[in-house]
């Protein structure tokens, strides 16, 4: 088995808090120097690399003299604001040793939920890569709220992979990779070298968070791989403690767990819809509509809608769920929530009579829809 990284041209590399900090005591300059050297090796091999790095809050805590991670959002934001200064400085100085320029890019979910801002972020990152710059990306913790939060840098790494149409996502952690069970508790746990991303069995295997400094456990990495796979990107989950792990992956050595993308890329427009973490609303659809969407490749008509949940405007992304609450699809709605409630369970031929106007015969057209 050869590493999928060997053939990848455009990579997103995510390094966790434990790999760039001294157990929460600020940034580990020597470790960051090693990451810079390895990424320089990847770039010398002709690969474009975007780095998603944790560590800002841990650095801010150290600079502010805090021994415990705060719980209050304003204190976390203050720590992030202070720590981002140090994070950017260390990366800039270490990459400069290899004559590589860097750029700091801070993102929130709101930046990617809006179509125009999504395209602007994509254009900026691709332009930076075109100029040979390594973007250093982190969540903008100084302004983020729960409503616009990615939740963890594993998810952010997957979204960035989709954003730039990356070939692969490398999630580096303090664990070897994925096991069939928690190896700390189960001596019979088997290591998984390769699997298909997005299978329910993988999510069942994943455990919880194992670090007091970081936020994401193995489950977030499994879900990140599932998200990245929707744009056709493979994921490698490997230990950042392995010597020269990135360089060895680049040379084809199989390290860690490879989670392969089962499908090709979504179109850019559908990828944007798939990448929404928070949706404005939901429509519950009947079994017939579920079958038409999933098997027939049809549009969603108002007659198949049982219930409308939430408040949304025309043109916003909403979810379509079955009667058990499982997401079936999502897409751009042709009608607002108020209008959708009025035309639910009615044939399209009655829309104009009910509303006084007809935008489209479909609630969501299949060209503006992506299956879950």
Q: What CATH number corresponds to the domain at position 301?
A: 2.30.130.10
What is the distance between the terminal CA atoms of the chain, rounded to a whole angstrom?
30
Same domain, 320 and 263: no
Torsions phi, psi of 225, nearest 5?
-65, -40
Which residue is listed with tokens 């509509």? 289
pLDDT of residue 114: 79
Does one domain contain both 299 and 163? no
Q: Indicate if 133 and 174 belong to the same structural domain.
A: yes
Domain that holds residue 24: 4-270
Reported pTM: 0.78
Same domain, 327 and 215: no
The per-residue pLDDT string of the chain (372 residues; one tens digit each, 9 = 90 and over) reads 889 999 999 999 999 888 998 866 789 999 999 999 999 999 999 999 999 998 898 899 999 999 888 888 889 889 989 999 999 999 999 999 999 999 999 998 778 877 788 888 988 999 999 999 999 999 887 776 654 456 688 999 999 998 998 999 999 998 899 988 877 788 888 999 999 998 888 887 775 434 333 344 788 899 999 989 988 899 999 999 999 999 999 999 999 999 999 866 777 678 888 888 778 899 999 999 999 999 988 999 999 999 999 999 998 899 999 999 999 999 999 999 999 999 999 999 999 999 999 989 999 999 889 998
Is the domain of 175 the same as that of 233? Answer: yes
Give residue 186's pLDDT: 83
Q: Do residue 65 and residue 34 come from a single domain?
A: yes
Which secondary-structure segment (H or E) carries 369? strand 369-371
155/288 same-domain check: no
Residue 201 shares a structural domain with residue 328: no
Domain CATH code at residue 111: 3.40.1160.10
Residues 130 and 205 reside in one and the same domain = yes
**Which of 167, 108, 159, 138 has its CA nearest to residue 275?**
159
**Element spanning 103, H or E:** strand 102-107
Q: What is 264-323 written as a DSSP string?
A: -PPPHHHHHHHT-SS-SEEEEE-HHHHHHHHTS-PPBPGGGEEEEEE---TT-EEEEE-T
pLDDT of residue 292: 95
Give the domain-ending residue among 270, 303, 323.
270
User: Which of 270, 292, 318 is a domain's end point?
Assistant: 270
What pLDDT score does 271 carry?
80
Residue 365 and residue 361: Cα distance in Å, rounded?
9
In this structure, the answer to whether residues 261 and 284 fall within a common structural domain is no
The pLDDT value given to residue 288: 96
Rounded to 5, what percent of the chain is helix, strand, coil?
40, 20, 40
Give Cα 238 to chain centroid, integer Å: 17
Q: Which residues pair with 138 in a beta bridge?
A: 106
Same domain, 206 and 84: yes
d(CA 334, CA 56): 41
Residue 336, sorted as left (phi over 0), alpha (psi -120 to 50) or beta, turns out to be beta
CA distance 360 to 284: 20
Domain count, the chain: 2
**pLDDT value, residue 69:** 86
Are residues 154 and 18 part of one domain? yes
Domain boundary among 237, 270, 303: 270
DSSP notation for 137-172: EEE-TTT--GGG---SHHHHHHHHHHHTT-SEEEEE
């Amino acid at each position: 088995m050869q590493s999928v990284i060997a053939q990848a041209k455009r990579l997103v590399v995510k390094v966790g808090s434990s790999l760039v900090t001294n157990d929460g005591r600020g940034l580990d300059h020597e470790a960051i120097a090693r990451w810079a050297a390895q990424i320089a090796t990847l770039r010398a091999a002709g690969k474009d690399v975007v780095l998603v790095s944790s560590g800002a809050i841990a650095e801010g805590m150290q600079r502010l003299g805090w021994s415990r991670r705060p719980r209050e959002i304003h204190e976390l934001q203050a720590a992030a604001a202070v720590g981002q200064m140090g994070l950017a400085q260390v990366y800039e100085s270490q990459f400069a040793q290899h004559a590589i320029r860097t750029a700091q890019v801070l993102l929130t979910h709101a930046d990617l939920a809006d179509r125009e801002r999504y395209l602007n972020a994509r254009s900026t990152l691709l332009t930076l890569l075109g100029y040979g710059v390594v973007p250093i990306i982190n969540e903008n913790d100084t302004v983020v709220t729960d409503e616009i939060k990615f939740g963890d840098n594993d998810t952010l790494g997957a979204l960035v992979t989709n954003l730039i149409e990356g070939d692969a996502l490398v999630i580096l952690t303090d664990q070897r990779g994925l096991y069939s069970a928690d190896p700390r508790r189960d001596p019979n746990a088997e290591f998984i070298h390769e699997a298909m991303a997005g299978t329910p069995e993988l999510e069942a295997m994943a455990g919880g968070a194992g670090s007091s400094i970081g936020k994401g456990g193995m489950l977030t990495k499994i879900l990140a791989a599932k998200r990245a796979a929707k744009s056709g990107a493979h994921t490698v989950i490997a230990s950042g403690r392995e010597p020269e792990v990135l360089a060895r992956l680049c040379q084809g050595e199989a390290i860690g767990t490879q989670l392969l993308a089962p499908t090709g890329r979504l179109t850019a427009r559908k990828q944007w819809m798939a990448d929404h973490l928070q949706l404005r609303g939901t429509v519950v659809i009947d079994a017939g509509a579920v079958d038409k969407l999933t098997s027939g490749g049809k549009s969603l008509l108002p007659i198949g809608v049982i219930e409308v949940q939430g408040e949304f405007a025309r043109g916003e992304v909403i979810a379509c769920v079955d009667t058990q609450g499982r997401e079936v699809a999502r897409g751009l709605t042709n009608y607002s929530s108020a209008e959708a409630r009025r035309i639910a369970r009615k044939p399209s031929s009655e829309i104009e009579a009910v509303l006084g106007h007809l935008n489209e015969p479909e609630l969501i057209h299949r060209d503006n829809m992506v299956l879950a």
